[in-house]
A and B are shown apart, each in its own frame.
Chain A
Amino acid sequence: MTLLNPNPVFRALADPTRRAIFQQLSRHGEQTVHGLTRHAGVSQPAVSKHLTVLKRAKLVCHRRDGRETHYRAQPEALAPMIDWLNLYGAFWRDQFDRLEGLLGRMDS
C-alpha cells in the first residue's frame, strides 16, 4: 500500500472549528454555508474560509444549485491520516507488551 502524504489532512483538521464543520457534514450530510454557520459559532466569512481549507485537503467537496452552494464531507480523504496513524498502532502494541509481562507472571 502506498502511503499518501497526510500533511494536508492533518493541517486541515488541526483546527477545532474545521473539525466541527467536517464532523457536522459527516454526520448530517450536505449543507449550505448558512446551515453550517448556524452550528459553527463563527461568522459566515470565517466558515467559508474554513471550507476552503477543507476543500484543499479534499475533505469537503461542493456543488452549485442555483445561487446556493452545497457542501459535502468526503471522509475517504481521511485515508492518508488513518494510514499514518495505523503505522503506529501504539495503544495495542503497548497492551501487547503488558500481556507479555502478564503471561510471564501467570502459572502455566
Chain B
Amino acid sequence: MSNPVEGPRALVVERVFPHPPQKLWRALTDGSLLAQWLLNNDFEPVVGRRFQFRREPMPNWNGVIDCEVFVVEPLKELSYSWVAMGLETVVRWTLTPADGGTHLRMEQSGFAPGREANYKGAKYGWQSFFNALEGTLASFN
C-alpha cells in the first residue's frame, strides 16, 4: 500500500576550509560572527540554551527559527534543533582536521520516515519539504 523510503534523509553540505578548527569553531559559536555569515541570532554555545535565528519575514512566516543547543563539543561538534514554521529538524556541525585546514560538515536531518506509523511520517515529510524548499527559495533571494 505504501512505498517505504529507505533510510533517513538528510541534507549534507561539506567543505574543507584552509583555516584551523579553532577559527571555524569561533565562526560557528560566536553569535556576532555567526550573524555575519549565517543569520541574526542570540546563540550561545551552552547545552540546553534556547535561541533563535531570524530571517526576513515572508508572507506566511515571521522568519523566526527556534533552536535549542544539543551538543557543544569544542572544536569537534555542535548541534541544535532547527524549528521553522512548526517543522522540526536538527542541524549538526562536525569539524575534522584535514590536510591544510578543516573539514566542515553540516547535516540537517528530520526523522527517519516510516519509523512510527503515519503521524511521524507526515511530520517528517513536511519538515524535509519545507526545509529543503526554504533552502532552495533562499537561493533566489
Contact = CB atoms under 8 A, between A and B. Distances in A.
Interface of A: 1, 23, 25-27, 29, 58, 61, 72-79, 81-83, 85-86, 88-96, 98-103, 106, 108
B9 interface: yes
A83 B136 CA distance: 12
13 contacts: A72-B118, A74-B2, A78-B129, A79-B5, A79-B113, A81-B129, A83-B9, A89-B132, A90-B135, A90-B139, A96-B106, A103-B23, A106-B26
A78 B139 contact: no
Given A29-B119, A72-B118, A79-B5, A99 B13 contact: no
A79 B13 contact: no
Chain B's interface size range is 35 or more
Contacts, number: 115
Nearest to B19: A103
A85 B24 CA distance: 27
Interface of B: 1-6, 9, 11-13, 15, 17, 19-20, 23-24, 26-27, 33, 36-38, 104, 106, 108, 113-114, 118-119, 121-126, 128-129, 132-136, 138-139
A99 B95 CA distance: 14
A91 B139 contact: yes
B27 A26 contact: no
Contacts of A75: 113, 118, 121-122, 124-126
B27 to A, nearest CB: 6
Contact of B9 (A72, A82, A99): A82
Contacts of B17: 99-100, 103
A82 B13 contact: no
Contacts of B125: 26, 73, 75-76, 78, 82
